[in-house]
Amino acid sequence: MQNNLKFYINGEWVDPVEPAVIDVINPATEQSFTQISAGSSADIDHAVAAARAAFDSYSQWSVEQRLDLLERIRTVYKTRFEDIAQAISTEMGAPIDMSRSSQTVIGMGHIKNAINILKDFEFETTENGMIVRHEPIGICGMITPWNWPINQVASKVMPALAAGCTMVLKPSEEAPLDSMILAEVLHEAGLPAGVFNLVNGYGPVVGEAMSNHHDIDMMSFTGSTRGGIAVAKASADTVKRVGQELGGKSANIILDDTDIATAVADGIDYCMDNTGQSCNAPTRMLVPNDKMEIAIEAARIAANNISIDDPTKAGNHLGPVVNKVQFDKIQGLIQTGIDEGATLIAGGTGRPDHLPTGYYVKPTVFANVNNQMTIAREEIFGPVIVIMGYEDDEQAIAIANDTDFGLAGYISSDNMEHATAVARRIRAGQIAINYKGGNAGTPFGGYKQSGNGREKGRWGFLEFLEVKAITGIKAD
């Protein structure tokens, strides 16, 4: 890539208003492998002006024109698939096979989902003597995280394009390159100038400039709860719509009518995926008290069987966490768990012996945890799981709901009626039974401090539309 120090604004790669650089660190080597520019409010002004100028024309495109555009984007994306996979693996540490099979392929899923929804969506209907129209909300500011970078970008950009919006994206400064490749994809696919704009930089500078910008109509934010609060506060003065997909501390209830050892092992593997760096990871495992010994031994074996290695190597293993700040935070919380009296049954502090360099964290499991301990309350965002016991369904549900978050929940059971009854009582936005998660068409978002609004599927598409009623079309 030749444009790392440039921003994509109004259909061109341009220099920042004021030169300033950010090192992009490879978490496997702890070394900078490239630099990007740090944007300013002046860069955001230029990007928003381009998006505003493009909106009047692009918002009037026909459904057929937008479908044709999305099909071209899908075609070009396929030609850059390996470039995106390699970028994600290098910038945030996803093992290359996982980067291809999970991280990068899901971007294709969001393009396909936008196409399918747009084909069938009725933008205008007549009912009860009025016309009801769905119209693009306008200029959208988008702030995305590093943990599933192309997934989070595509889940915003593709439905926004389908809806007829224009946009300004600030990807994470930790994992910016895959988004810059996407900008090249959109350009090659023939996206009109100004419809999509990209400015790199820091959240407190670029993100705030977007959030309080008078000419941005909507902010779509994915990241920490703290970051989401900052975006909402900065957006309040202009009363723009704010969509937030924030943190989680999801409960995984292993019901007593299933094979405990198998469900526990599956839960360990599911949670450790992406090195535990998923906002919906099932990090609080709840098991029946009378099956605790079985659960602890199954968890110990499963965690110790997880391998950790260089993300450039093929195979099924974990990579590093994204950066030193995250590594240090996780190490501190593991030590806090030990200090607060939880029983460490796998993992622990420090790097694996065979990986002295890189931000590698041992897959860690604690038992004898209560729901008031720090490791049961805080989002650790790493390969760390806590196991807690319960006496009956009522207590399990109470523990699961005793959290500031509400992004996801998990139920393991051989009785679907039983599992569904428990799932209905969990205060979270998405519940997976027996670890069968959603896809690009499944609504995703949370309750409580896990955010508001929904991404993906028809629900994510509706986030980028306003509803207009036209009355008086029939005489009384």
Cα 149 versus chain centre, distance: 7
pLDDT value, residue 476: 55
**Which residue do the tokens 């396909």 mark?**
112
Active site includes 30?
A: no
Answer yes or no: is 211 within a domain: yes
Looking at the fold, whether 424 and 461 belong to one and the same domain comes out as: no
Looking at the fold, whether 261 and 379 belong to one and the same domain comes out as: yes
* pLDDT of residue 1 exceeding 60: no
Specify the CATH number for the domain of residue 373.
3.40.309.10
Predicted confidence band at 473 (pLDDT cuts at 50, 70, 90)? confident
Residues 6 or more apart whose Cβ sits within 8 Å of residue 49: 215
Answer yes or no: is 475 within a domain: no
> For 300-306, what is the mean pLDDT?
98
* pLDDT of residue 3 exceeding 80: no
Answer yes or no: is 457 within a domain: yes
Looking at the fold, whether 190 and 327 belong to one and the same domain comes out as: no
* pLDDT of residue 12 exceeding 80: yes
pLDDT value, residue 331: 98
Catalytic pick among 165, 208, 279, 463: 279
- How far is Cα 467 from Cα 476, in angstroms, rounded to an integer? 24
Q: How many helices (H) and strands (E) are present in the chain, helices listed first?
A: 16, 20
| Number of domains making up the chain | 2
Looking at the fold, whether 454 and 435 belong to one and the same domain comes out as: no
Answer yes or no: is 476 within a domain: no
Looking at the fold, whether 266 and 192 belong to one and the same domain comes out as: no
Tokens of 375: 């490791």
> For 272-277, what is the mean pLDDT?
98
Residue-number span of the structural domain to which 237 is assigned: 7-246+449-470
pLDDT value, residue 2: 66
With CA atoms as reference, report the closest residue to 188 among 59, 58, 72: 72
Q: Over pLDDT 90: what percentage of the chain? A: 98
Predicted confidence band at 419 (pLDDT cuts at 50, 70, 90)? very high
Catalytic pick among 91, 174, 208, 245: 245
pLDDT value, residue 474: 75
Q: Give per-residue pLDDT as tens, 341-394.
A: 999 999 999 999 999 999 999 999 999 999 999 999 999 999 999 999 999 999
Length of the chain: 476
- How far is Cα 249 from Cα 192, in angstroms, rounded to an integer? 41
Looking at the fold, whether 151 and 178 belong to one and the same domain comes out as: yes
Q: Over pLDDT 70: what percentage of the chain? A: 99
Active site includes 12?
A: no
- How far is Cα 79 from Cα 1, in angstroms, rounded to an integer? 15
Specify the CATH number for the domain of residue 196.
3.40.605.10
* pLDDT of residue 475 exceeding 70: no
> For 305-314, what is the mean pLDDT?
98
